[in-house]
């Protein structure tokens, strides 16, 4: 199996709500988000040892009694569409496991292909910011918003369960920004607000930033609810 896997968490209860999964990390990403925690996979992927498919397969089969499936994350999985992505997902499905894919939404055609080929059961797409000039500051690059908007459309119309999610970074995203994001995904199935974690961010200046409190995030959640009924919080810890 040619897909380049550079990280393997054997058992995770956090990466797919209600499921027990093995989480797999691919290297490389076309974004440079300043709040990213996995930046080593982006700029120094060779520091991580490759994980052979046979090791993953052996673990999944031997723990089929409680592992529901895999979460493929990164990095950006869709960058590997010509490097064994679809073949890898097909192999996982043939083992009778569920597949969740995390994506930044920059390649709607890759998402469309995995959906049409029935290679994915759940998609989580990160929406960094409102769908306008504010996006580039959070993605760290010049972003083709037409591709982001098309991915949103593809996912909503896929017939799959899915979520859109935003990491709420103080100083970079406000309550008004969250409301504007919600407007851009109006009537989506689910919108998740993730509390910012300052530990080990790519931009070292963000490591000094305190996350928004639970109360502040709840206010943002209520601001989003007129547009997306199912809005929830994730990863919320007490702020000192």
C-beta separation of 224 from 233 below 8 A: no
Find tokens 């007129």 and name the residue: 226
C-alpha angle 130-134-137 in degrees, rounded to nearest 5: 120
pLDDT tens for each residue of the chain, 240 residues long: 689 999 999 999 999 999 999 999 999 999 999 999 999 999 999 999 999 999 999 999 999 999 999 999 999 999 999 999 999 999 999 999 999 999 999 999 999 999 999 999 999 999 999 999 999 999 999 999 999 999 999 999 999 999 999 999 999 999 999 999 999 999 999 999 999 999 999 999 999 999 999 999 999 999 999 999 999 999 999 886
In sequence order, which residues have a C-beta less than 8 Å from that of residue 239 and are 6 or more positions away?
210, 211, 212, 213, 214
Fold of the domain spanning 7-234: TIM Barrel (3.20.20)
Q: How far apart are CA 121 and CA 33, in angstroms?
A: 26
DSSP string computed for 198-222: -TT-SSGGGGGPPPPPHHHHHHHHH
Q: What integer pLDDT is reported at residue 16 of this predicted model?
A: 97
Q: What integer pLDDT is reported at residue 239 of this predicted model?
A: 80
Could you tell me the residue ranges of all domains in the chain? 7-234
C-beta separation of 123 from 165 below 8 A: no
Closest CA to 32 of 119, 134, 104: 104
**Bridge-based pairing state of the strands 7-12 and 21-25:** antiparallel
Closest CA to 60 of 83, 85, 14, 94: 94
Burial (CB count <10 Å: 0-12, 13-18, 19+), residue 104: buried
Q: What integer pLDDT is reported at residue 1 of this predicted model?
A: 61
């Amino acid at each position: 199996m040619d897909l380049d896997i550079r990280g393997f968490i054997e058992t995770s209860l956090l990466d797919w709500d209600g499921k027990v999964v093995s989480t797999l990390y691919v290297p490389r990403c076309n974004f440079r988000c300043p709040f990213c925690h996995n930046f080593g996979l982006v700029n120094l992927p060779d520091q991580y040892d490759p994980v052979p498919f046979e090791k993953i397969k052996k673990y999944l089969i031997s723990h089929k009694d409680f592992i529901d499936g895999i979460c493929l994350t990164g990095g950006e999985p869709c960058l590997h569409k010509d490097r064994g992505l679809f073949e890898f997902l097909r192999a996982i499905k043939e083992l009778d496991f569920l597949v969740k894919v995390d994506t930044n939404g920059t390649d709607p055609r890759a998402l469309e292909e995995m959906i049409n080929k029935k290679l994915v059961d759940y998609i989580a797409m990160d929406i960094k910011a409102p769908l306008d000039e504010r996006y580039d500051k959070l993605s760290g690059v010049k972003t083709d918003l037409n591709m982001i908007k098309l991915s949103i459309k593809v996912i909503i119309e896929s017939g799959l369960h899915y979520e859109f999610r935003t990491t709420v970074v103080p100083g970079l995203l406000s309550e008004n920004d969250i409301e504007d994001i919600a407007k851009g995904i109006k009537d989506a199935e689910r919108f998740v607000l993730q509390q910012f974690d300052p530990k080990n961010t790519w931009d070292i200046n963000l490591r000094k930033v305190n996350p928004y409190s639970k109360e502040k995030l709840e206010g943002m959640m209520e601001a989003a609810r007129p547009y997306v009924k199912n809005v929830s919080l994730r990863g919320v810890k007490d702020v000192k």
